[in-house]
Amino acid sequence: MPIIANAVPDALRPLIDAGETVRFAVVGDLDRERRFARVDLAITDRRLICAEGGRIVVGLNLGSITEAKVDELFGSGRMIATTDDGDRLIAYHSRMVAPEFATFCRLVNDVVGGRPPLLPDSQPAAYCARCAAPLRDREAPCGLCVPRLQIIRRLMGLLKPYRQTQIWLTLVVAATCGMQLVVPLFMRGVVDQGILGKDAGRLNMWVALMAGSGFVLFGLRFAHGRLMSWLSGRLIADVRSTLHSKIQRLRLSYLNKRDGGELSSRVLSDTGQLQHFLVEGVPFFALNLMMMFGAMAILIAIDPWLTLLALFPAPLVFFGGAYFSHKLMPMHHRQGSRNGVLHAIVGESLQGIRTVKAFSQQGRRVEMFDNANERHFETAQQINRTWVGFSASMPWIMGLAGAGMWYVGGHRIVGGSALTLGDMIAFGAYMGSLYGPLQWFTEVFNWMSNALSAAERIFSVLDEPTEEALATAGATPAAPVDPSLRFRGEIEFKDVRFSYERGKEVLKGISFRLPAGQMVGLVGKSGSGKSTIINLISRFYDPDAGQILIDGTPVEGHDVSRVRRSIGVVMQDPFVFNASILENIRFGRPDATFEDVMRATRAANAHEFILDKEDGYDTLIGEGGAQLSGGERQRVSIARAILDDPPVLILDEATSAVDSETERAIQEAIAVLIKGRTTIAIAHRLATLRNAHHLLVMDDGKLVEEGTHEELLAKADGVFAKLVRLQNE
């Protein structure tokens, strides 16, 4: 349930004192015994309240609270308030409402700290609004409530650019259907007029028409296959391209929650399933649906009462297929998810093959894959068991209908009815045109369920907002900034708070200012928040609260791409692409001249080792940079950042993978490089930050010290001085 602002929940109304004002409230779901129950929490103008079962179990004056925090427990969490008398338990909560409790906790700290409370955007629902089923995550669609018609309309909408091909395909399908429908009439003529009428001329005419219709059908089916394969292939190619493009522009918080194998499964496996259905299933469905209605019309024209008998099982086949298709939809979703797990395990095993072999853990990886593969097999078998009983009964039901038709029709012919043997043969052929497709429609329903589940997973990715859209949504319009102007590089944080997961704050209200053109070092233990600051400056994430300014302007007022183009980043573990060294260095500036590239490589002390390669700058470095050593990859990454010539340079352990001699050469190059630009350096070897103009010392998400290297060393009991002593010991 979302945070309630400036309103009193009904459950709290009798418990609030006269004249007391409720500012914020939230509903929890675990009582103090950690049983599922409604729990109401509220921040009033006087106190923090927790109520269970119609009574207040916690009531703390706001003045006695120092800080509120959320602790993660096994399968649940709890909110604790630090007071003058120690820590006090406020309430427990399940993981389903952890984001709401994290927000509520922050509101408590804002009120206690005298800061303006910042109420964030409402969180997406944790349960499906239609069927109340829990969602895989708050942004995922419900696997039980797939809107089939909406998905089909969206798929058809993708075909709009190819309307002319669609029209030709429709005409070919209609012509094919018409030709197939007249063939049984030719058969009736052969029997009644040719054979039974003993008329050789009529016999030859009807047989010639049957042969000619076969030739025409060959041409129509050939044209149909060519048109459909091109149209479906073009559609899937467009979907794959759009899907890959969308993934490139999604926010990191979304991508980090999903395995690379899951997303690659969306691009390759799910689109493949969709294409298979479009090439095989849709033509079958469209052609035979027209055949069914055409055959039904002719059957009624031949004999309405016999048609009524023949159609008796049709509703059972159709509605039974629809029922089982709906039942299979969540199973196909589960199968798609487990297919993504298989992709992820295979991809991880290949990427980490050296580590696997180094620890002799091949058997463990095989076991992991086999377990996931077995779960995938069990899901497939569950689908087959659910479907096979229904599909196996259909031929028997339709066979009974055929037997009934011949029994009734045969007795009518024997009794002297106007019904002829040719009519019965044509009637049987049209029943085949009716029940043959209807029988296979049960398989098509299963096929369609699988394809629509794949399409729904694809559209769930396509519907995700891009980071550009999220960056501009709700942003306060800023004064127009000329995008051609170069950033000076002044960066300022104002009371910034951030959490990768709600309830686990990584940055806890930090503030600092980095003057343009200076080198600043970020110091602290692992997990203290250094890399998170880099991520926020690069706009890989946006803060939960507070403000980040570049050149005095809120970062939200700048285009995301412009900010990133103005920042050169050399990560601790540099990534290089499976391309040539030259292409990797030019990645940020594809139009850079070769002379510019060589200047960058010389500055990064990379030029000599590149020339030592057999193909020089054209050397292919392999997947993950397999043809380069760790130090060589690092220097290629540094050269890539130097070539961009950004006003802000970020060095995240930039010399961690090089030997002492190379590090000294790179440090000399960096000393020249950082002149005139803002440089932020993270280094665990603190001695490498001696030349920094300013140091920021982080500890547990807080800025605990700042100053020059000498000033911080002078504080014998300071965090920085202790870190230096630990490294020197």
Tens of pLDDT, residues 306-332: 777 777 777 776 677 667 766 776 777
State the amino acid at position 45 in one-letter form. Answer: D
Q: Which of 168-182, 381-395, 688-702 has the lowest mean pLDDT?
A: 381-395
Q: Which of 199-208, 496-505, 690-699 has the lowest mean pLDDT?
A: 496-505
Q: What is the pTM of this model?
A: 0.64
Q: Concatenated DSSP letters for 236-260?
A: HHHHHHHHHHHHHTB-HHHHTTS-H
Q: How many residues does the chain have?
A: 729
CB atoms inside a 10 Å sphere around CB 94: 16
Q: What is the pLDDT of residue 674?
A: 73
Residue 75, SS3 per DSSP: coil
How far apart CA 665 and CA 667 sit, in angstroms, is 5
Q: Which of 113-117, 413-417, 550-554 has the lowest mean pLDDT?
A: 413-417
pLDDT in tens, 498-555: 888 765 778 888 999 988 888 898 888 888 888 889 888 888 888 888 889 988 888 8
Q: What is the pLDDT of residue 477?
A: 45
Q: Which is more confident, 123 or 559? A: 559
- In the structure encoding, which two tokens stand for residue 317, read together? 């086949």
pLDDT band at 479 (very low <50, low <70, confident <90, very high): very low
Angle, helices 200-248/163-189, rounded to nearest 10 degrees: 160
pLDDT band at 438 (very low <50, low <70, confident <90, very high): low
Residue 123 pLDDT > 90, yes or no? no
- Of 142, 92, 87, 117, give the one whose Cα is nearest residue 6: 117
Burial class (CB in 10 A: 0-12, 13-18, 19+), 600: buried
> What mean pLDDT do residues 17-36 have?
87
How far apart CA 634 and CA 207 sit, in angstroms, is 79
Q: 491-501 and 86-94 as β-strands: parallel, antiparallel, unpaired? A: unpaired
Q: What is the pLDDT of residue 12?
A: 84
Helices (H), 113-194: 148-157, 163-189
Q: What is the pLDDT of residue 51?
A: 92
State the amino acid at position 295 in one-letter form. Answer: A
> What mean pLDDT do residues 585-604 have?
88
Residue 610 pLDDT > 50, yes or no? yes
Q: Which of 188-197, 416-425, 546-555 has the lowest mean pLDDT?
A: 416-425
State the amino acid at position 215 in one-letter form. Answer: F
Residue 653 pLDDT > 80, yes or no? no
Write down the residue that tokens 């010392």 correspond to: 697
Residue 273 pLDDT > 60, yes or no? yes
Q: Which of 4-13, 226-235, 237-246 has the lowest mean pLDDT?
A: 4-13
Maximum average pLDDT range among 166-170, 354-358, 403-407 = 166-170
Instruction: Identify whether the C-beta of residue 38 lies closer than 8 Å to the C-beta of residue 20.
Output: no
Q: Domain boundaries in the chain?
A: 4-113, 147-303+420-464, 316-418, 576-645
Q: What is the pLDDT of residue 478?
A: 46
Which contiguous run of DSSP H or E holds residue 370? Answer: helix 362-414
pLDDT band at 594 (very low <50, low <70, confident <90, very high): very high
Instruction: Identify whether the C-beta of residue 118 lies closer than 8 Å to the C-beta of residue 545.
Output: yes
For domain 4-113, the CATH class is mainly beta
How far apart CA 570 and CA 631 sit, in angstroms, is 13
Residue 697 pLDDT > 80, yes or no? yes
Mean of the per-residue pLDDT values for the chain? 79
Contacts (Cβ under 8 Å, ≥6 apart) of 325: 445, 446, 448, 449
Q: Which is more confident, 248 or 91? A: 91
Q: Which is more confident, 484 or 61? A: 61
Q: Which of 23-27, 168-172, 268-272, 360-364 has the lowest mean pLDDT?
A: 268-272
Burial class (CB in 10 A: 0-12, 13-18, 19+), 278: buried
pLDDT in tens, 581-590: 999 899 888 8
Q: Which CATH number fits domain 147-303+420-464: 1.20.1560.10, 3.40.50.2300, 3.90.1200.10, 1.10.340.30?
A: 1.20.1560.10
- In the structure encoding, which two tokens stand for residue 503, read together? 């309830």
Sign, CA dihedral 522-526-528-529, equals positive
Q: Which CATH number fits domain 576-645: 3.10.450.50, 3.40.50.2300, 3.40.50.300, 3.30.499.10?
A: 3.40.50.300
Residue 617 pLDDT > 70, yes or no? yes
Q: Which is more confident, 453 or 380? A: 380
Q: What is the pLDDT of residue 662?
A: 63
pLDDT band at 48 (very low <50, low <70, confident <90, very high): very high
Contacts (Cβ under 8 Å, ≥6 apart) of 690: 709
Instruction: Identify whether the C-beta of residue 39 lies closer than 8 Å to the C-beta of residue 30.
Output: yes
Q: What is the pLDDT of residue 50?
A: 92
Residue 462, SS3 per DSSP: helix
